[in-house]
Structure 1
Amino acid sequence: MFISDPNVIANPDMYHQLIYEMRIFALLTSTSSAYPEVRAVAADTDDPTQPSLTIRVWVIGTLLSAIGCVINAVFVMRYPSISISSNVIQLVAYPIGLGMAKLPNWKLFGLELNPGPFNKKEHLLIVIMSGLGMAFPPTQHLILAQAMPQWFGMEYARKAGYQFLGALGTNMIGFGFAGITRRFLVYPSYCVWPASLSTIALNNALHDHAGSTTPVRGPGKTVWRASMYKCFWVIFGIYFVYYFFPGYIFPSLTIFDWIAWIKPTSGTLVAITSSNFGVGFGFNPFPTFDYNYLSMPGGYFPMFVHYNFLAGITTGMLLGIVFWTRNVLNTGYLQINSPNTFDNKGKKYVVRNIADSVGRLDTVKYQKYSEPYMSAGRLVSFIGTFAYTTGTLTHTLLYNRHELILGFKGMSIDVKHWWARIRGKPVNEERINAGDDIHYRLMQAYPEVPEWWFALVVLASMVISFVCLGVYTPVSPAVVMMAPIITVIFIIPVGIVTAVSGLEPSLNIISELIGGGIAGGDTMTVQFFRMFGSEPVYHALIYANDLKLSHYVKINPRHMFWVQMWGGLLGTFITVSQWNWLMAIPNVCTPDAPFRLICPGGQSDYSNFIFWGTLGAPRLFGSKGRFKWLLLGFPLGVIFPIMMFILKKRFPRNHVLQASHPLLLILSFAWTSGASWGSYIPGLFINLFSWNFLKKRYLEFWSRYNYVTLAALGTAISINAFIVFFALVFPGIDFPAWWGNGGGTPGCIGSWTNADCGRYKIGPKGYFGPDPGNYH
């Protein structure tokens, strides 16, 4: 990093400056973290004697996990969904913990009822346990798609044994892989996990009321003395009141389509500037007055993440506009950026029109109905998704190969030690440090969890999954052996991207593509290939993020193991126990469902499984498939990172090249479909102010207030949304209709039709593309 600086190589007189910078870096890494955002929230000291896994953790964590599971299992089926955030859990747990700290110090099952003041470690263990109990949306969507009669209607999907074993298997496989990959995703200091920092900031604010009131210099020669605790409650109160406007009174503040309103009947203007879902790409520099609308909120992520992602998604959307205007693959007849699949009349593709009773392709029905078509934005997303698949592996090998070698070397040494102990031979205590900062060194005071504990969890979960398929379904249990290969291959590369950038890529399309290629028209194989292929990665990243959170706060790793194990088991049991009851609600998962329980996730999964299973990858992407050229994304994912790597080496002084992140540029392409440019640009503006202005000029001010402000905003939004729903929406108290709450969205923004808004109009035949009976 220092020696390769071209300015130093070209100017030997700068050696003294190089030595000075190296000393500063060495000092930071030995006494704290090299990353200011980590130094802002994570303490560089620890008291290993401080109690953490207390009876308070078990009682409060179990209680809040149970309540959260009940709420989230219901509202994940609602559109728009409502969920409990970790910061809301933290806020609710705090007074309960303080109350239990006033109880007598009796002993219960050998545990002290009140071992002392309620502390930060206990508090975060409660948050982690409760959060894990509520992390089940993907599996729930899958079960809904399988069980509901309007979709697959499979009887085995309603059996409690199948539901419990399937959910437990996918969840615990993720837990095991998160533990096995700690030396790659948790211990290294560059794996910051930005999403965890605001959680720690709120924890610091709550447990240090007075906090630091040392004056810090702020913008405009101001001096600030407010503690983090006071800052949290002031920001929380202001935004809690304000959010009644975009959340209830004036929803148009969320999507402020002022450019499209100039001429809402212009299909082209709306397609380019509107942020309404699927209708346009949202090229609008001032699109919202609602912080909750931002897809990439400012303040959380490093500047390079915003720069790269916005550059990539801008390029992807411009490419989508070219596809749409040139009518590539008939995209000009459709909405420009819808994530849906369409038929040849421009309507949503009804997958039941081509499938038999068990979801297999009926060629007669297919030839009478239509081939599938996709929007311009979705074509770009497929290119990006395929490129991301190979690009993840290529980028990781190019840029993280040294860390991978070090990690695997350390893992092999640990395996040798374990094998030597089993055989009763002396062990050479050679170790390789997987971490390089103060937090890793402080964690050496605690006994580590051996890798074989997590390996046993993975093995047991595989057996559970094997039993699940073998006993309850007609699908071969061999899927359980094949699908997790996706997890093994991608968990480290995807985990590194998430840990560094804070963005969590999805592997669903890849697992469905592979499963569809293997299945040969069998939708059930596609379902289970995704269930045991990509969903464990989703769970593994949640567990890994929590492991990093505990790493920053110096929680005993073995305490974390049992808390995560219990949180996963408890969440599985409570969530699964509700599914059959929820599926028995009249009209649930239909447009007529009460309280908007229309199950958008289940509908999406059903369509995807039919698309990839019934139609199948060979028909869509084979030698005669209309979408075969989208597969160019795979070689592009290899070529682009290598090309950027070479250019960075060739032009070390080019700041644009050095700041580029090839994988984030590719990932932004994959996220184009259904996205809005306007949901990303405000985050860049906020981040320019936070990271480029405040952080560079007023580091103390930024360190004290940045993350606690973000925690306050997120908590205010979550609590306000719950109050609005239960106090106003649930009883049916609607705000009087006016233009600001959707009382008539004009033109193509709210009522898109091909006749009025399509770039190309459907002809007198009433459809576009080949005639019925001539479909591939």
Structure 2
Amino acid sequence: MDAKQEYEGSQSEQPRTEEYGLEKAQQGETLSLKESDAENSINEAVRLVVPLTDDPTLVALTFRFWVLSFFFAVIASIVNQYYYFRTSRGGFPLYFVNLTSYALGVALAKILPHGNVTIGGHTMSLNPCPFNIKEHVLIGIAVSTASITAYAIDIITAMDLFLKHRMGAFGAIVLIITTQCLGYGMAGVLRKYLVHPTEMVWWSNLVHVVFYNAIHNTDEFKTKKMVRGWSYMKFFWIVCGCTFLYEFIPQFMAPLLLYFDWVCWINPYNKDFWAMFSSMAGGGAGIMSLSFDWTVIGGYTLWLPVSTQLNQFSGIFLSYWIILPILWMKNILGARTFGRPLTPRLFHSDGQPFDITPYLNDDYSLNEDKYNASAPVTMTPMYALVFMYSFITLAGCISHIACFHGANIWKSWKTSLSNSDDVHVRMMKIYPEVPQMWYAAFYVVMVGLSCMVCEVYGLQLPWWGLLVGLAMSWVLTFPICAMTAITGTGPGVNVITELVCGFMFPGKPLANMTFKCYGYMATWQCKELLSDLKLGVYMKIPPRSMFTAQLWGTVLGGVFNYMTLLLIINSKREYLDGTADDPNGLWTGLGAQVMWGSALIYGALGPQRMFSSKGNYHFIYWGFLIGAVIPVIQWALSKKFPKIKWSLFNVTVFAGGMSAFPGGLIVGLVPSFVVFLVWQIWLFRYHKRVWSKYTFILSASLDTGAALTGLAIFLFLSGGVSPKLSFVFPSWIGNYYLEDGTNAPYLGVNRCGAFNNTWTGGLHE
């Protein structure tokens, strides 16, 4: 299934949907258009799952919303911050929130009195109506925004772990909230161009649309039947329950199956085997590594566009199964010197880890004299290549959007000045829109607070430098969000912001982290908010209620992210800063290490020094040219050979797969690809009706069951509720432990001999 389906045939003029909606709303009736109506979406996937119905009488912002969203947002922000420092990246599942909040919402609708409550001069009914789908969606939106681990956490963590400097609570919270909220103003301006056009699908929302409609048994979902005549929700619960029970095997009983590096067993103490075939804790390429954990495979493999996944898989395969082994075996750029092929840490030229602390002044800027007297600083070649891949993705994104989607976007831009041609957007006309002034005023306030944080809390970034970073985010947000909306994935601006700041403020690592955080998060958060706005269009959520829910969740999440961060750092500091290895491989400071490593490269040392024309890594700048030129060549070929779909090769998505590390570890490529082939290639081609009927609800049920298992293990088996509820599964072949309580080399997190750092082969340089 392509990300964009071309509309064939003429489209007759239809009555204005907004007029139709107003008339029906005044009569208190449900808006409805037949799925076969010519006004339906031109996108096939949207036609399959998004109903053309709406009930404008439903109340969205209810007392139940405030109570349930607060409860779940607090839990989600705490749990996800906890998982941020875990090697197994789980989280508080949104589907669990949706299921539980539905049950609690229905219960509250039955037991709450029908009187009013007054808070701050505002009167609200305690129980205005039965629990409905719109307030349910808003609870999910608020919790999802709260559950996002704030990027500013990396700044606070890196300062605490590596500089032994803890930022004040007020400044830290303002830093978190401002970086999370700047995207609101941008989303308000760009919604007409990145939400309203039909081709802006925002693919992940389709799963949520199916889920919400199924659980509320709305409209045509009442008549849809699954296997054996089951309803949508019965099918969901059965698959979810089976997945929940199964996931205890790889996640708790047999962690051997979580990262199954079986090839290592052929020659377990050979360092070359370890570098090629280890995955999770080994820091290797993960070639032929298996995983039997659905959280590693992911439900997106069932529905993300075929072209997107093929590009991603191809990029990962080329980078980690071909390029990495060549670099390691040939010792190119001293790949063997650094101990492991994949690590974001910096080293001296002799392979010893680089510690920046002795070379910093009191204000954390670089002391040039001390540094110049030391051995040069280097990095692993794969880490250097990640920077080049990032430049390819960014330049390729802009070039690809301009070449293959520029005409359609320009048409949408002109159309948006009058009326959108998307039926769902026209159905939303009956609801008051959020004024642009709301977004503008909010953005100005956030910019002012951001300048205050930078100037007052010693982050090395002057106010004018912050404004430069925000200006960059405005320029880059449009193509990045357009790419994400159309293909389901898109690049970030973290590396380009690091590079620009490195030239502006050399020798200042804190300035680099701060500039990067504000520039990157403004774009990234805008993307998330635009996706939520598209979900609001699909589900017909009043825009002002959507704005309130998003802001509410963001503020709650930021406060509780910070509180959880302090608790974890205080108890696990030695594992997070790298001074000690967690014997069970459960805790990691990888996120903070990546942020700090980049700050050293681009901030303290500066791109002039690290990527100079005389150094080893100047080649990274070729990424800009490669990314910009390839789409132009494709576009020219598409004019010469129009029958070939040249745009299906997307250099942005391809290079994004190549740079899977350090954002994620190279695990689960094989099982994910197998699932993709079976479901997206074979089933979609030969059993399309089955694919369209089961895909999104199956993805939701599998993801929910697997995530619920992780939550249950965290709360009741790993001491989440109480240290007394901490259990270790009895030792057996699936999790074999040594007498000292640590994993054995064959079956632990390192299965290729790195357990005792003893090697019997593969040591040649």
TM-score (norm 1): 0.84
1:455 equivalenced with 2:440 (yes/no): yes
Match status 1:741 vs 2:735 = yes
2:627 aligns to what?
637
Determine the C-alpha separation between the residues in 1 that align with 2:195 and 2:601. 37
Which among 169, 188, 207 is matched to residue 179 of structure 1?
A: 188
C-alpha deviations, 1:569-595, integer Å up to 9, x for none? 333344445555665558474567999
8 Å contact from structure 2 (residues 261, 751) kept in 1: no
Q: Say if 2:612 is the partner of 1:622.
A: yes
Label 1:344 to 1:295 Cα distance change in 2 as closer, same or farther (>3 A): farther
2:451 alignment partner AA: F
Partner of 2:21: none
Distance change >3 Å, CA 239–CA 270, structure 1 → 2: same
From 503, 519, 535, the equivalent of 2:505 is 519
1:484 & 1:618 partners in 2: Cα distance?
A: 23
Match of 2:644 in 1: 654
Instruction: Tell me which of 375, 385, 389 is aligned to 1:384.
Output: 389
Deviations 1:475-507 (A, max 9, x none): 422122111122112111111222223325332
Aligned residue for 2:317? 314
Is 1:361 matched up with 2:366? yes
For 1:740, the aligned partner's letter is: G
> What is the aligned partner in structure 1 of residue 26 from structure 2?
none
Question: Matched residue of 2:526: which SS?
Answer: helix
Kindly indicate whether the alpha-carbon contact (under 8 Å) linking 2:349 and 2:375 is maintained by their aligned counterparts in 1. yes
Point out the more displaced range, 620-629 or 664-673: 664-673
What's 1:54 paired with? 62
State the Cα distance separating 1:531 from its structure 2 match.
2.2
Question: CA separation of 1:293/1:173 partners in 2, compared to 1, >3 Å: closer, same or farther?
Answer: same
Cα distance between partner residues in 2 of 1:586 and 1:745: 24
Deviation at 1:758, TM superposition (A): 8.7
Moved more, 227-236 or 711-720: 711-720
CA distance in 2, matches of 1:176, 1:242: 44
Maintained 8 Å contact 2:270/2:761:
no
Q: Confirm or deny that 1:65 pairs with 2:73.
A: yes
Aligned length: 715
2:327 equivalent in structure 1: 323
Q: 2:215 aligns with which of 185, 206, 211?
A: 206
Could you tell me how far 1:224 is from its partner in structure 2? 4.4
Structure-2 change in CA distance of 1:750 and 1:302 (3 Å)? farther
Distance change in 2, residues 1:521/1:70 (3 Å): same
1:715-726 equivalences under 5 Å are: 715-726=704-715
The whole-number CA distance in structure 1 between the counterparts of 2:702 and 2:269 is: 36
> Residue 267 of structure 2: which of 263, 266, 274 is its match?
263
**Matched residue SS, 1:487:** helix
Residue 603 of structure 1 corresponds to 593
Distance 1:41 1:54 in 2: 27
- Which stretch shows the higher mean deviation, 543-552 or 259-268? 259-268
* CA distance in 2 between partners of 1:700 and 1:536 (Å): 40
Query: 1:418 aligns to what?
Result: none
Query: CA 1:738–1:369 in 2, change beyond 3 Å: closer, same or farther?
Result: farther
The 8 Å contact of residues 275 and 287 in structure 1, kept in 2 or not, is answered as no
Residue 136 of structure 1 aligns with which residue?
Answer: 149
- Would the alpha carbon gap of residues 626 and 658 (structure 1) be closer, same or farther in structure 2, given more than 3 Å must change? closer
**Paired residue type of 2:598:** N
Q: Decide whether the 8 Å contact of 1:325 with 1:759 is kept in 2.
A: no
**In structure 2, distance between residues paired with 1:204 and 1:242:** 27
Partner SS state of residue 740, structure 1: coil
Q: Which one of the candidate residues 248, 251, 254 is aligned to 1:250?
A: 254
Q: What do residues 81-106 of structure 1 show as CA deviations (whole Å, max 9, x unaligned)?
A: 54212212112211110012113322
Shift of 1:314: 2.2
Give the conservation status (yes or no) of the 8 Å contact 2:282–2:754.
no
* Equivalent residue number for residue 470 of structure 2: 484
Secondary structure (helix, strand or coil) at the match of 1:560 reads helix
Please report how far the alpha carbon of residue 179 of structure 1 lies from its aligned counterpart in structure 2 after TM superposition: 2.1
| Alignment partner, residue 162 of structure 2 | 151
Mapping of residues 732-771 of structure 1, within 5 Å: 732-741=726-735, 743-746=743-746, 749-751=752-754, 756=759, 761=764
- Letter of the 2:230 partner, please give it: A
1:727 is matched with 716
Q: 2: CA distance between counterparts of 1:144 and 1:672? A: 20
1:111 aligns with 2:124: yes
Seen in structure 2, the aligned counterparts of structure 1 residues 585 and 307 have a Cα distance that, compared at 3 Å, is closer
Q: Describe the superposition over 1:30-53 as per-residue Cα deviations: whole angstroms up to 9, x where unpaired.
A: 443333332343211112222222
Bigger shift: 93-102 or 692-701? 692-701
| Structure 1 stretch displaced more, 582-591 or 256-265 | 582-591
CA distance in 2, matches of 1:225, 1:353: 69
Name the CA shift for 1:216/1:691 in 2 (closer, same or farther; >3 Å).
farther
Letter of the structure 2 residue corresponding to residue 151 of structure 1: F
Scaled by the length of structure 2, the TM-score of the pair is: 0.85
Cα pair 1:68 1:133 within 8 Å, conserved:
yes
Q: Is the 8 A contact 2:455 2:463 kept in 1?
A: yes
Secondary structure of the residue aligned to 1:741 is coil
| Contact in 1 for aligned 2:490/2:652 (Cα 8 Å) | no
Change (3 A) 1:550 1:606: same
* Residues 184 and 403, structure 1, Cα contact 8 Å, conserved in 2: no
C-alpha distance in structure 2 between counterparts of 1:256 and 1:384, whole Å: 28
Structure 2 residue aligned with 1:541, among 503, 518, 527?
527
User: Cα deviations across residues 683-724 of structure 1 (Å, max 9, x unaligned)?
Assistant: 333233323333444444333322121111222122211221
Correspondence for 1:301 among 304, 312, 318: 304
Q: Which amino acid aligns with 1:744?
A: A
Letter in 2 for 1:153: K
Greater CA drift, 226-235 or 257-266: 257-266
Q: 1:408 to 1:202 in 2, by over 3 A?
A: closer
Matched to 1:90, the amino acid is N
Tell me the secondary structure at the aligned position of residue 448 of structure 2.
helix
What is the CA distance between 1:189 and its match in structure 2?
A: 2.0
Please report the RMSD computed on the Cα atoms of aligned residues, expressed in angstroms: 3.3
How far the C-alpha of 1:744 sits from its partner, in A, is 2.0
Name the amino acid aligned to 2:636.
I
User: 1:649-703: CA deviations, max 9, x gaps?
Assistant: 2222335x35322321232223255766662343333233323333444444333
Contact 1:321 1:376 in 2 (8 A): no
Q: Which amino acid aligns with 1:63?
A: F
2:305 and 2:488 in contact (8 A); partners too: no
Most deviating of 200-209 and 51-60: 200-209
Q: Does structure 2 conserve the Cα–Cα contact (< 8 Å) formed by 1:176 and 1:454?
A: yes
1:302 Cα deviation from its structure 2 partner: 1.1
User: Is 1:509 aligned to residue 514 of structure 2?
Assistant: no
Written as runs of structure 1 = structure 2, the 5 A alignment for 1:585-600 is 585=571, 587=573, 589-590=576-577, 599-600=589-590
Equivalent residue in structure 2 for 1:166, among 164, 175, 179: 175
Of 240, 243, 249 in structure 2, the residue corresponding to residue 239 of structure 1 is: 243
Structure 1 residues not aligned, in runs of 5+ = 6-17, 218-222, 412-430, 763-776
| 2:680 equivalent among 685, 691, 699 | 691
In the TM superposition, what is the alpha-carbon distance from 1:247 to its structure 2 partner? 0.2
The aligned runs of 1:256-295 (5 Å cut-off) are 256-277=260-281, 279-284=283-288, 287-294=290-297
Which residue of 1 is the match for residue 449 of structure 2? 464
After superposition, give the CA deviation of every residue in 1:494-545 in whole Å (9 maximum; x if it has no partner): 1122222332533222211211121121112112211211122222222122
Structure 2 regions of 5+ residues with no counterpart?
15-34, 720-724, 737-742
* Offset at residue 754 of structure 1 (A): 9.3
Query: What's the CA shift string for 1:93-143, capped at 9, x where partnerless?
Result: 111100121133222333332222211111010111122123233112211
Q: Kindly indicate whether the alpha-carbon contact (under 8 Å) linking 2:261 and 2:279 is maintained by their aligned counterparts in 1.
A: yes
Deviation of 1:409 (Å): 4.5
